[in-house]
Amino acid sequence: MNEKKFEQLFRAARAEPAPAPAQDFEARVMRTVHRQLAGQEASMLEQLSAMLPRLAAGAAVVIALCLATDLCLSSFVQPDLSAGLNQLAEQWLFAAK
């Protein structure tokens, strides 16, 4: 084909309206994507990255509980951890006799 025919074809293509996608095009694409994702097995790294935010939140809760317990014990029971251990050791020693 020569240049003139190419130019004529391109001009005609530019003049045509763009084809409209089907109305359920988005739904079909999403179903296909979900179907493909369901068929694939997740790697260990993907599973770990999915669980990491939950693990971090759980660790933060455990740390907060430990801090709250320490504050409560230090203000209500024993002012010092070593004093509490000494008292516990004395009770254990006298209980054994």
Q: Which has more confidence, 83 or 2? A: 2
With a CB cutoff of 8 Å and minimum separation 6, the contacts of 22 are 28
Task: Tell me the pLDDT tens digit for each residue of 18-33.
Answer: 888 889 999 999 998 8
- Cα–Cα dist 7/15, whole Å: 12
Nearest Cα to Cα of residue 50 among 32, 63, 31, 37: 37
Domain positions in the chain:
23-96
- H or E segment at 41? none
**CB contact at 8 A, 69 and 76:** no
38-51 tens-digit pLDDT: 667 778 888 888 89
Tens-digit pLDDT profile for residues 57-86: 999 999 999 999 888 877 776 667 777 778
Cut 0.85: pTM above it: no
